[in-house]
Amino acid sequence: MGLEQEIEALLEVERFEPPQAFREKALWSDPSIYEEAAADPEAWWTAQAKELLDWETEPSQGLDDSNPPFYKWFEDGRLNASANCLDRHVEAGNGERVAYHWRGEEGEERDVTYADLHRDVQRFANALRDQGVEKGDVVGIYLPMIPEVVVAMLACARIGAPHNVVFGGFSAESVRERMEFSEAKALVTVDGARRKGKTAPIKPAVDEHLGDLGSLETIVVVRHTGIDCPMTDGRDVFYDEILAAADPECPAEPMEAEHPLFILYTSGSTAKPKGILHTTGGYLTGVTATHRYVFDLKPESDVYWCAADVGWVTGHSYIVYGPLANGATSVMWEGAPDYPHQGIWWELIERYKATILYAAPTAIRTFIKWGAEIPAKFDLSSLRLLGSVGEPINPKAWLWYHKVIGAERCPIVDTWWQTETGAIMITPLPGITTTKPGSATTPFPGVEAEVVDESEGEPIDEGQGLLVLERPWPSMLRGLFKEDERFVETYFSRFGSERYLVGDAARRDGDGYYWVIGRIDDVANVSGHRLSTAEVESAIVAHPAVAEAAVIGQSDEDTGQAICAFVTLRGGTEPSDELVEGIRAEVAKRIGKFARPKRIVWADDLPKTRSGKIMRRLLRDIAEGRALGDVTTLRDPDVMAELEAKIAEEQDED
């Protein structure tokens, strides 16, 4: 039987029990943990916080819900996140343990130990202070996947300066917006970034777009590629130089549990990104507990690899804070999955004997396309657990992952969560949960989810509805940076301040398993990257030839969703290939290359309601070739017929 047929046959198997060998050694194998947590979630989380973290002052209370939805956790406790990630491991004699096996694009290797990080973080924390950064000041970080990104984040945490990391794939213009909104005082960036054998100059782009930003007093530049780099006297400093000049000792300053740890911008329904705010004690409790128990992490023997980028929440929680708090050894890979060759991930797993791999379904689908013969060339027998995150995983991809990468021996944890939730919320526990391909299964202990109907918010037993989280959890966002009203409006207005509106549709099956379907708002999920369609629209209309644009996330075999733009040109402008490229370039410049539309449909007009609102639902139907829904509310129903003709023309050309 060929692989295809084997996977087809596996599609019939609906349930996968945790393998006996795995269950026997799992940290948690007794399902009573769910009841224990549900009996008193607040007490259970407080016990986790005390057990998993080192507190300077232990909290005397758990949840403060006196001012919903502005919840607080462990309020009178004091701790330092960087001390929990570094000092306590060094003090316990584990300083020589590797924190990251770093691998550069060109094959360079650096093993960074806990002692190395401890040394550099102290120095960099002092260096930031030398530059005038104080507790409460926001520090931007715009770096590629290099160990310095971790040093920068933890140095901020050490002195209580909330970091604001921007994914390296965002353009400098996006960085500017995020620095401006957060009033960042300093920015840590790099001379240049490498991508598939090429080097892109980063510092010159930063100068061009951020040079005149008033709040920004210091730009720290990591010399990574060695390319020439313009420096402005009095503002710009090199990372290595200020590190060398700084005092080597910087005792970790205990922070209040609710002290802001970081801001991370993510996309919402409008073009303006939302600054998700996370604080120290609750966030650290959530990521440490979930990282340990969802990945069944044994720090002495596991080699864990989360193949995300630090610039997204997955990187914050499961490359930096969770793994380091647990004393894990991780793999960190600078580059792309197909450079220098399409087997690089598997080469790294073989090389570092990785035991746990945490990746996005979009990557798995890409590997399926490249062929199972590529991973087959490498020894993947060290793997014992696989994880998935970022978007729904289709059963076929799940089964391929299970069979080809996991050799049917590794449980798969499909983890559902968001930037806002801080930590994993719905997930299997690998030594306990029977999994079903495509379902993230059930909420983590101490978390309560529900599927409710749209209008009344009544729970739906079976069938599709809106996913909500029913009670506060420690790692939840504490707000949107300087936008309290928007925070309440986005998450806590529809069903009140005691129920968090997720923004995803889901259904629950007869076993109580959750199946997340996708976003209900105008947010597209492209290769696991969360994008606001409104943000892409505003980038497209910035092109001088464009009069109007409507953007949707269209289902896509490879990337989950792809950006499809319906574009109306200004009078007298004819569509052309140059225009397509021009529009894509505009989006790359304003947001980043990953947001470029895959498909552009030229539209003479867009479907609008009588009040002028664009009906994206209809555009989605038409782009995906579905029968059109109700068009009676349109101002001009003929628009749809014209668009249908355009799409038919497009298909003829193919």
* Candidates 9-17, 71-79, 386-394, 473-481; binding stretch for ligand PRX (CB under 6 A): 386-394
User: Which pairing describes strands 63-64 and 514-519: parallel, antiparallel, or unpaired?
Assistant: unpaired
Q: Are 364 and 370 in contact (CB under 8 A)?
A: no
For the CB of residue 423, give the shortest distance to ligand PRX in the complex, in Å: 9
Among 530, 543, 596, 608, binds ligand PRX (CB under 6 A): 530
Query: What x/- string results for residues 129 through 168 when contact with ligand PRX is judged by CB under 6 A?
Result: ----------------------------------------
Kindly identify the residues of this chain, within the stretch 490-509, that bind ligand PRX according to CB under 6 A.
503-504
Q: Are 594 and 526 in contact (CB under 8 A)?
A: yes
Distances (CA, A) of 101 to 330, 405, 587: 6, 21, 35
Among 165, 179, 306, 516, binds ligand PRX (CB under 6 A): 516
Question: CA dihedral defined by 382, 385, 388, 392, rounded to 10 degrees?
Answer: 130
Count of CB atoms situated within 10 Å of the CB of 16 = 19
- As given in the structure block, the two tokens for residue 123 are 């120095």
For the CB of residue 382, give the shortest distance to ligand PRX in the complex, in Å: 24
For the CB of residue 278, give the shortest distance to ligand PRX in the complex, in Å: 12
Q: Based on the shown chain and the rule CB under 6 A, indicate whether residue 389 belongs to the binding site for ligand PRX.
A: yes
* Candidates 61-69, 220-228, 367-375, 385-393; binding stretch for ligand PRX (CB under 6 A): 385-393
Among 48, 288, 525, 532, binds ligand PRX (CB under 6 A): 525
Q: Are 647 and 622 in contact (CB under 8 A)?
A: yes
Name which of 155 and 501 has its Cβ closer to ligand PRX. 501
For the CB of residue 108, give the shortest distance to ligand PRX in the complex, in Å: 29
For the CB of residue 494, give the shortest distance to ligand PRX in the complex, in Å: 15
Q: Based on the shown chain and the rule CB under 6 A, indicate whether residue 519 belongs to the binding site for ligand PRX.
A: yes
Cα–Cα distance between 652 and 641 in angstroms, integer? 17
One-letter amino acid at 58 equals E
Phi, psi (5° rounding) for residue 173? -65, -40
Cα–Cα distance between 192 and 34 in angstroms, integer? 48
Cα–Cα distance between 73 and 70 in angstroms, integer? 10
Name which of 297 and 440 has its Cβ closer to ligand PRX. 440
Kindly identify the residues of this chain, within the stretch 410-469, that bind ligand PRX according to CB under 6 A.
414-419, 440
Among 48, 174, 189, 266, binds ligand PRX (CB under 6 A): 266
Cα–Cα distance between 110 and 100 in angstroms, integer? 8
Size of the site for ligand PRX (CB under 6 A): 21
Q: Which residues contact 217 (CB under 8 A, 6 or more apart)?
A: 131, 132, 185, 186, 235
Name which of 46 and 330 has its Cβ closer to ligand PRX. 330
Name which of 296 and 504 has its Cβ closer to ligand PRX. 504
Cα–Cα distance between 364 and 421 in angstroms, integer? 24
Kindly identify the residues of this chain, within the stretch 303-332, that bind ligand PRX according to CB under 6 A.
313-314
Q: Which residues contact 580 (CB under 8 A, 6 or more apart)?
A: 600
For the CB of residue 466, give the shortest distance to ligand PRX in the complex, in Å: 12
Coil, strand or helix at 137: coil
User: Which residues here bind ligand PRX, judged by CB under 6 A?
Assistant: 266, 313-314, 389-392, 414-419, 440, 503-504, 516, 518-519, 525, 530
